[in-house]
Structure 1
Amino acid sequence: MAREALEQRGAPKAVGGSGALDRWFRLREAGTDVRTEVIAGIVTFMTMAYIIFVNPDILGAAGVPRQAAAVATALGAGVMTILMGLASNYPLALASGMGLNAVLAFGVVLGAGYTWQQAMGIVFWEGLLVTLLVLTGARESVMNAIPANLKRAIGVGIGLFIAFIGLKNAGIITHTATIVPGPGGQPVISNPTYVALGNLREPAALLALFGLALTLLLVVRRVRGALLLGILGTTLVAFFTGQARLPETWLSLPTAESLATIGRLDFSVVLNLSAWSFIFAFLMTDFFDTMGTVVAVGGEAGYLRPDGTVPRLRNVLLVDSLAAVTGGFLGCSSITTYIESASGVGEGGRTGLTSVVTGLLFLLAIFFAPVVGIVPSAATAPALIIVGFLMMSVVREIEFGNPEDGIPAFLTLLGMPLTFNISHGIGLGFVSYVLLKLFRGRARDVHPLLWVVSALFTVELFGLWQFIFR
């Protein structure tokens, strides 16, 4: 199935690598070659590079020095992505997690009144807990306990989520809700149309539509490197239309000031009981976001076993767990496995060489950040939309005929884009799955770990952590 899909997309049938790279990453065995892996790594980097600029803006609101946050973001993403490629030999890339960084800035610091150094301590301790779960085998056991139908739904849901992000970044869809002052000055939502068609006459939307048409043309013509060529072609048009400009300076050398966040975390936060509500909230999100990403990207890359399990899973989970620890130490929020990894897989990436290329580009970005910033989000949005389409193919394997399995799968794949959160979509699927089995008198069919995880998800979805750790 995976090989047929690969060939239909125009990837090479006879492939291989050269020398040490071929032996280390087993390129020939994976059905790929060095050129394909390098292109895939570049595509993954280009679809993720926005985090170098977005993460410092978000963390800056919490008082984290922006220049230092930018360097820490690129450094953490580069080191951990290379480590993932070498340790797991999978095309998975890591960076500071979107959503997690917002919770840290606006929930932990601005909302609860912790310092940013204490917030990074929370991230560090959460990473240690997840690492402990990996070393004891608990995290891997939970992943292996998930029914195959739900695993397929997680992959499809993430595909929908990725496509939704692409459409949003392109300006093709938008929301019309506005925030206005309410009674007592509290903000309230006015005119809540949750999703609507964007203004397609806007320059950014027109640019994205051009990029989508160009990329689709390259894909259907089976041009190798279609996603990368689409991004580059759209960026070139952005220059001619004034939506992108050459940087004033091409090189940015790190200074002592740009390393100011490294090692500045405050460990004393663990003594504060209320901080543990945030530690467990981060843990749940980190735990299941990564699980969903690994399952989804694994299904797209073709390395899932028939029973839905992932070879070398412990290596993947260990690196991801250590990435959270690293994010807290560097001061760039929790580092996690990225759903944008699927863009490189969509370009043909199948091994850890893709990740090594992506990681090296992140490290180079420390010195060439002004150059990285010239690619507009409208240029990378088409790649996300197309990758979302590619990840939808597994939907035909989901058994919707049986409501006990079909309804949880449906809530999972629908919940991710509509809650804008991978973990919440998984939670809706898990909780509904165990409830339906219970209602049918088939509670014994549910793996014991799923009962535990579903109970934790119930606490998470209803926001009860703050009441437990008061």
Structure 2
Amino acid sequence: MTHQPTRPPTTADDAGRGAHRPASRAWLDRCFHITERGSTPAREIRGGVTTFMAMCYILLLNPLILGTPDVTGQAPPHAAVVTATALGAALCTLLMGFIGKVPLALAAGLNVSAALTTQVVPHLTWPQAMGMCVLYGAVIMLLVVTGLREMIMNAIPQALKHAITMGIGMFVALLGLVKAGFVGRGEGGPLTLGLTGKLSGWPVLFFCLTLLLIFMLQARKVPGAILLGIVTGSVVSIAVTKAAHLTDKDWQGTAPALHGSAVAAPDFGLFGHVEFGGWQSLGGLGVGMIVFTLVLAGFFDAMATIIGVGTEARLADDQGRMPGLSRALFVDGAGGAIGGVTGGSGQTVFIESASGVGEGARTGLSAVVTGLLFAACLFFTPLTQLVPAQVASAALVVIGAMMMSAAAHVDWSDRATSVPVFLTVALMPFTYQITAGVGAGVISYTAIRAAQGRRREVGGFMWALTLVFVVYFALHPIENLLGVG
């Protein structure tokens, strides 16, 4: 059953109460349509706080992913990445509140950050990678303005959309397992990753305990399960570290501890560090495929999340249309560029926004509250030193598991669907490349449909995309054949 926006009946008493409403509250009501959508300022504030509590784990996870050396061996400073993550989330969420006027919050997309870490910075510097973010954000904004974003969404089969979501989920989960030390990297690179077979010290034990705790809390439907699990795992880690006198060597890194004050000035060292160019090592097609990968990473989930949360907030009609949809999509696209400028990776809408909607949020005021809380976090970056990387990594595995729920929407009995889905999901983590998974899924989908005599069902866009991926996979043999490799 689809819910329609709630519009309270207007009565003489209501008009009288409105006449005595404080000017500030009346401005809020007009700006965010609070009464029109059947909400109150108190509900919006409560919803904004709830959304923040559900997604503030990004301040811990994004620096964990982005703390990877680039092609020059330089890794961005931890404090600067935390500041960039908080700043990007604050700016984009405030824009969503004031422009989109919907209860949606944005922050650094883990799928975008993962793509940057594994596919971009092995070839480029971090400033050049942030330039890629600005570029992909501009592409998405252009797609929104021209109306092509919706056309592309409709052209790609639903099964492949679910496969991309699941594949990225598996990819993010693998990143968490590797960063926790639960999975070890072999001599030959990602393809030789394998289970260590035993707990290799205290850090891996804390990872396992945190992971199990979050899963148990989710099974009990406890609100904010991820954040509660990370906080509990960190407290236990700190207590055991002190009791057992564990050192940095025991942690294979830095032991959790607060060095100095919990409050510090923000480190804006990454702000504006954006470079365009220097992409010669990738070639034109390589640059195009990376931008395409980043667009994919922040493209499909965002539209589905915006419509899904909008429907939950009773803002969408039977066709999934909701007020301010185009504005919300534009702000989401702008998040890619804003994230690149701040240095915190591309920003995208978070599904955790639904937690605030569950608390009664219906308007952009909720997003403004969430954005202000992220802004306040700019001054508390030292607190992230208390969270071990192994504990935070557990959340990556949990998020990957949550993204696998899309498997329920796939018809596994149809080989024409299940094979492309399987290849997409399997190859993303196995090859450590999101692009490889998407390409394999697209090519196999069109090939199987053609073998069935159903080539017309594929559509012109999918055939063009297939050709692009065929060239992408065959690029090195073609270069060698032409003597330009």
Q: TM-score, normalised by structure 1?
A: 0.73
- Cα 1:249–1:58, aligned 2, differ >3 Å: closer, same or farther? farther
Structure 1 residue 404 and structure 2 residue 403: aligned? no
Structure 1 residue 128 and structure 2 residue 134: aligned? no
TM-fit CA distance, 1:237: 0.6
Given candidates 104, 109, 113, the residue that maps to 1:90 is: 104
Whichever residue aligns with residue 206 of structure 2, its letter is L
CA distance in 2 between counterparts of 1:457 and 1:24 reads 50
CA distance in 2 between counterparts of 1:170 and 1:64 reads 19
Whichever residue aligns with residue 152 of structure 2, its letter is V
CA distance in 1 between counterparts of 2:197 and 2:352 reads 24
CA distance in 1 between counterparts of 2:478 and 2:355 reads 40
User: Contact 1:343 / 1:384 at 8 angstroms: preserved in 2?
Assistant: no
TM-fit CA distance, 1:248: 1.8
Given candidates 318, 323, 331, the residue that maps to 2:330 is: 318
CA distance in 1 between counterparts of 2:129 and 2:415 reads 43
Structure 1 residue 199 and structure 2 residue 177: aligned? no
1:106 is matched with 122
Structure 1 residue 224 and structure 2 residue 234: aligned? no
The count of aligned residue pairs is 430
Whichever residue aligns with residue 453 of structure 1, its letter is L
Whichever residue aligns with residue 337 of structure 1, its letter is T
Whichever residue aligns with residue 457 of structure 1, its letter is F
User: Contact 2:51 / 2:356 at 8 angstroms: preserved in 1?
Assistant: yes
Given candidates 20, 30, 34, the residue that maps to 1:23 is: 34
User: Map of 1:287-302 to 2, 5 A cutoff?
Assistant: 287-294=295-302, 297=305
Given candidates 407, 430, 451, the residue that maps to 1:439 is: 451
User: Contact 2:443 / 2:469 at 8 angstroms: preserved in 1?
Assistant: yes
1:44 is matched with 55
User: Contact 1:416 / 1:422 at 8 angstroms: preserved in 2?
Assistant: yes
2:380 is matched with 368
- Describe the superposition over 1:232-272 as per-residue Cα deviations: whole angstroms up to 9, x where unpaired: 22121111011522232222214xxx5455445455x3997
User: Map of 1:312-461 to 2, 5 A cutoff?
Assistant: 314-330=326-342, 332=343, 334-337=345-348, 341-342=350-351, 359-461=371-473
Given candidates 142, 148, 164, the residue that maps to 2:158 is: 148
User: Contact 2:289 / 2:435 at 8 angstroms: preserved in 1?
Assistant: no
- What is the identity percentage for the equivalent residue pairs of Structure 1 and Structure 2? 29
1:10 is matched with none
User: Contact 1:75 / 1:366 at 8 angstroms: preserved in 2?
Assistant: yes
User: Contact 2:92 / 2:106 at 8 angstroms: preserved in 1?
Assistant: no
User: Contact 2:136 / 2:295 at 8 angstroms: preserved in 1?
Assistant: no
2:211 is matched with 212
TM-fit CA distance, 1:434: 1.2
TM-fit CA distance, 1:445: 0.5
User: Contact 1:235 / 1:376 at 8 angstroms: preserved in 2?
Assistant: yes
Where structure 1 has 5 or more consecutive residues not aligned to the other structure, the ranges are 4-17, 110-115, 179-188
CA distance in 1 between counterparts of 2:127 and 2:394 reads 37
Whichever residue aligns with residue 154 of structure 2, its letter is N
TM-fit CA distance, 1:288: 0.7
Greater CA drift, 411-420 or 51-60: 51-60
- Cα 1:191–1:423, aligned 2, differ >3 Å: closer, same or farther? closer
Whichever residue aligns with residue 229 of structure 1, its letter is L
1:112 is matched with none
CA distance in 2 between counterparts of 1:378 and 1:164 reads 13
Greater CA drift, 91-100 or 296-305: 296-305
- Cα 1:165–1:398, aligned 2, differ >3 Å: closer, same or farther? same
- Describe the superposition over 1:121-171 as per-residue Cα deviations: whole angstroms up to 9, x where unpaired: 555444434432332222331112222222333333344344444444444
CA distance in 2 between counterparts of 1:204 and 1:253 reads 30
Where structure 2 has 5 or more consecutive residues not aligned to the other structure, the ranges are 4-24, 242-254
- Cα 1:231–1:466, aligned 2, differ >3 Å: closer, same or farther? farther
CA distance in 1 between counterparts of 2:128 and 2:167 reads 34
CA distance in 2 between counterparts of 1:64 and 1:230 reads 28
Whichever residue aligns with residue 94 of structure 1, its letter is A
User: Contact 2:84 / 2:344 at 8 angstroms: preserved in 1?
Assistant: no
Whichever residue aligns with residue 199 of structure 1, its letter is K
Whichever residue aligns with residue 108 of structure 1, its letter is L
2:186 is matched with 177
- Describe the superposition over 1:321-358 as per-residue Cα deviations: whole angstroms up to 9, x where unpaired: 3233334444x2752437xx456658986877776566
1:285 is matched with 293
